[in-house]
Amino acid sequence: MTADETRNPCISAVPMSPRERLYSAPALFLWAALVLVAGVLLAFLVAPIDASSMGFSQKIFYFHAPIAETALVAFGVSFVSAIVSLRRGAEHASGVGEQLEVAAVRLGLVFSGLVLVTGMIWGRAAWGVWWAWEPRLTTFLLAVLVYAAYFVVRAAVDDEGRRAVVGSVYAIVAFVTVPITFFATRYLPEGLHPVVITSSGARMEGSMVLAFVVCTAGMLLLLAALLRTEVTIARAQAHVSRVKEEIERRQAAGPAPDRAGVATPGGAAERGEPMEGTGRSTR
Amino acid sequence: MSRRQYLALVRRDLLGETRRLQSLLSMVIFAVVAMVVLHYGWHAGAGSAWAADGSGAVPAAMLWVVFVFAALLGLGRTFAHEREDDCLDALLLLPVDRFVLFLAKATTNLLLLVVLQAIVVPVFALFFLDVTAWRLLAFVPVALLADVGMAAVGTLLATLVLHARSRDLVLPVALLPLLVPLLIAATSATEAVVDQGAGLGSIAGRLGFLAAYDAVMLLVAWGTYDILVSE
């Protein structure tokens, strides 16, 4: 193992710089919470009740639309991560890029699930039905199915390197559904779904736009915090796997002589000597 | 066999399934995609004279569902000969660009689809439709554009699952949701030209969408096929 492969910031004793601290997962969660609380206050206390027939039920828009955009951004992150992973070559496909890609797809699916739930609640209030087969809803459901299949495809491949490549290629193909979902309401006129943000501006009052923008920023910060946490966990798991493999490799290599020159069964690993490249003791 | 042994075996199987969720997730995805495709076929034909005669059937959706399930059989066997005869490595050793390999496989799948349609569409028209040959000719560009997309994405995904476990299960689960946008466009375009007798000009947007879908999938294959088969 190289030092670069084994260095893991989540278990490293090296203290974070103030800048790193600002972008750490706890800090991002805190920022997300603050911005989301501000967004909730703006949505319920500042933004006026919608003048159309939707009335108070329109308030769900400040959460439904930002969640939807965050889901699409997460899929976008997976697309970019997949390209970066593949550009590094097949032998490097399984790494941070892959971890970010998997985390982004997983979180994209979670946010998509929330979009469908909030959309159904809003649809029930606005259209009187829980579900309508209209372009935006159908294409979003489609994106969920496509990205759910990502995990089926990955789970079917045993080899780690091949799984990374297969996952990345599928993530690139799957991203085709994202622009289709985004533009469905703009180019398919038969849809029921309203188009609020258009190329000519937002069809809302200023305070409504402010609440929407703040809620969107909060959701994006939440996505960043969750992505950071997921990647840290994935890196820690990968690190533990590598250390385990290293221990098994040393044990399989046979007993190593102890300090007195006598062979002991566990060798360096059992004595708690630093593992190669980890810079840490196994104790 | 005792009740305890029976429950232990059921528990073991369910535990394995809940850990991987592969079968359940695959079944759910497949079922929902089938509903989406059938809905759009039904919706496309709901206002037509064909559906209004009380028959309740929807020819455009039926036709494309038939094509998709037939295509799945063919696409699943894209690399069957290489696997069965153990000559995949020999194929990859050929001194050709990997994208040429993709194009060759995709062209074979495309030709299989075209031949399938050349046989099925006249038979289908004879049994289910009362339309002129001219209307059937208008179906040709729709079918060709949709076939190119199906062959491109199908060949790419068949390569993707080449070394996967349960590839016969994984391929439809991965492929069908990706084909739904194409199927929606193809079904509504087919319904317009064959059932309603609309001109090709009225479905230009849908044909444009099919062409864009084909171009994007070919572009993705061009960009990823080399690393996909190299690994």
Residue pLDDT, tens place only, A137-155: 878 888 888 999 999 899 8
Mean pLDDT of B120-124: 83
pLDDT score of A147: 93
The Cβ of residue A26 has, within 10 Å, a number of other Cβ atoms equal to 11
Instruction: Say whether A156 and B165 touch across the interface (CB within 8 A).
Output: yes
Domain that holds residue B61: 22-230
ipTM of the complex in this document? 0.81
Asked whether residue B1 is assigned to any structural domain, the reply reads no
**Which of A98, A169, A178, A182 has the highest number of chain B CBs within 10 A, making it the mutation to test binding with B?**
A169
Report the gap between the CA of B127 and the closest CA in chain A (Å): 30
**pLDDT tens digits in sequence order for chain A, 283 residues long:** 444 444 555 555 556 677 777 778 888 899 999 999 998 898 888 878 776 666 777 788 888 889 999 999 999 999 999 998 888 775 655 677 788 899 999 999 999 999 988 888 888 887 778 887 777 787 888 888 899 999 989 988 888 888 889 999 999 999 988 888 777 666 555 555 666 666 666 667 777 888 889 999 999 999 999 999 988 888 888 888 889 988 998 888 876 555 555 555 544 444 444 544 444 443 3
pLDDT score of B17: 75
pLDDT score of B45: 47
Asked whether residue B10 is assigned to any structural domain, the reply reads no
Computed over every residue of chain B, the mean pLDDT equals 80
The tokens for A193 are 């779904």
The C-alpha atoms of residue B231 and residue B228 are separated, in whole angstroms, by 6
Report the gap between the CA of A83 and the closest CA in chain B (Å): 9
Asked whether residue B115 is assigned to any structural domain, the reply reads yes
pLDDT score of B28: 78
Do you know the residue count of chain A? Answer: 283
pLDDT score of B49: 41
Does the CA dihedral B124-B128-B133-B137 come out positive or negative?
A: negative
- For Cα atoms B222, B228, B231, give the angle at the middle one, nearest 5 degrees: 145
Cβ neighbours of residue A188 closer than 8 Å, sequence gap 6 or more: A135
The tokens for B63 are 């036709």
Query: Helix or strand or coil: residue A13?
Result: coil
Instruction: Compare B134 and A278 and report the one with higher pLDDT.
Output: B134
Sorted by where each starts, the structural domains of chain A and their CATH numbers stand as 25-196+205-238 (1.20.120)
Note the pLDDT tens digit of each residue in B162-185. Answer: 888 877 888 888 888 898 888 888
Q: Using CA coordinates, name the residue in chain A closest to B21.
A: A152
Instruction: Compare B218 and A187 and report the one with higher pLDDT.
Output: B218
The answer to whether B189 and B202 have CB atoms below 8 angstroms apart is no
Instruction: Say whether A152 and B167 touch across the interface (CB within 8 A).
Output: no
Q: Name every chain A residue with its beta carbon within 8 A of the beta carbon of B178.
A: 146, 173-174, 176-177
pLDDT score of A281: 40
The C-alpha atoms of residue B112 and residue B74 are separated, in whole angstroms, by 8
Helices (H), chain A: 3-6, 18-22, 25-41, 61-87, 96-126, 135-155, 160-174, 177-187, 206-252, 267-271
Of B38, B32, B195, B33, give the one whose Cα is nearest residue B124. Answer: B195
The C-alpha atoms of residue B34 and residue B27 are separated, in whole angstroms, by 11
Asked whether residue B17 is assigned to any structural domain, the reply reads no
Q: Per DSSP, what are the bridge partners of residue A257?
A: A263
The C-alpha atoms of residue B117 and residue B101 are separated, in whole angstroms, by 24
pLDDT score of A261: 54
CB nearest to A153's CB, from B160, B216, B231: B160
Of A104, A109, A95, A120, give the one whose Cα is nearest residue A7. Answer: A95
Residue B55 has pLDDT above 50, yes or no: no
Of B204, B207, B140, B214, give the one whose Cα is nearest residue B178. Answer: B214
What percent of chain B stands above pLDDT 90?
14
The answer to whether A183 and A135 have CB atoms below 8 angstroms apart is no
Residue B10 has pLDDT above 70, yes or no: yes
Report the gap between the CA of A58 and the closest CA in chain B (Å): 28
The answer to whether B85 and B216 have CB atoms below 8 angstroms apart is no
Looking up tokens 């970010």, which residue turns up?
A100
Backbone angles phi, psi at A198, to 5 degrees: -115, 175
Is A188 near chain B, with CB under 8 Å? no
The Cβ of residue A27 has, within 10 Å, a number of other Cβ atoms equal to 16
Report the gap between the CA of A90 and the closest CA in chain B (Å): 6
Asked whether residue B9 is assigned to any structural domain, the reply reads no
Report the gap between the CA of A69 and the closest CA in chain B (Å): 20
Q: Name every chain A residue with its beta carbon within 8 A of the beta carbon of B230.
A: 90
Instruction: Say whether A156 and B178 touch across the interface (CB within 8 A).
Output: no
Q: How far apart are the first and last CA of chain A?
A: 19
Asked whether residue B4 is assigned to any structural domain, the reply reads no
DSSP assignment, residue A232? H
Residue B144 has pLDDT above 90, yes or no: yes
Instruction: Say whether A176 and B220 touch across the interface (CB within 8 A).
Output: yes
What percent of chain B stands above pLDDT 70?
88
Cβ neighbours of residue A73 closer than 8 Å, sequence gap 6 or more: A220, A223
Helices (H), chain B: 3-20, 22-46, 49-52, 59-75, 80-84, 88-92, 98-128, 133-160, 167-190, 204-230
Number of domains observed in the structure of chain B: 1
Residue B229 has pLDDT above 80, yes or no: yes
The tokens for B198 are 């609309």
Size of interface A-B (CB pairs under 8 A): 105
Computed over every residue of chain A, the mean pLDDT equals 78
Asked whether residue B98 is assigned to any structural domain, the reply reads yes
**Which of A153, A154, A172 has the highest number of chain B CBs within 10 A, making it the mutation to test binding with B?**
A153
Confidence of residue B138 (pLDDT cuts 50, 70, 90): confident
Report the gap between the CA of B119 and the closest CA in chain A (Å): 31
Q: How far apart are the first and last CA of chain B?
A: 47
- For Cα atoms B205, B209, B214, give the angle at the middle one, nearest 5 degrees: 150
Instruction: Say whether B181 and A153 touch across the interface (CB within 8 A).
Output: no
Is A190 near chain B, with CB under 8 Å? no
Is A138 near chain B, with CB under 8 Å? yes
Asked whether residue B132 is assigned to any structural domain, the reply reads yes
Is A129 near chain B, with CB under 8 Å? no
Mean pLDDT of B114-140: 81
Is A46 near chain B, with CB under 8 Å? no
pLDDT score of B191: 80
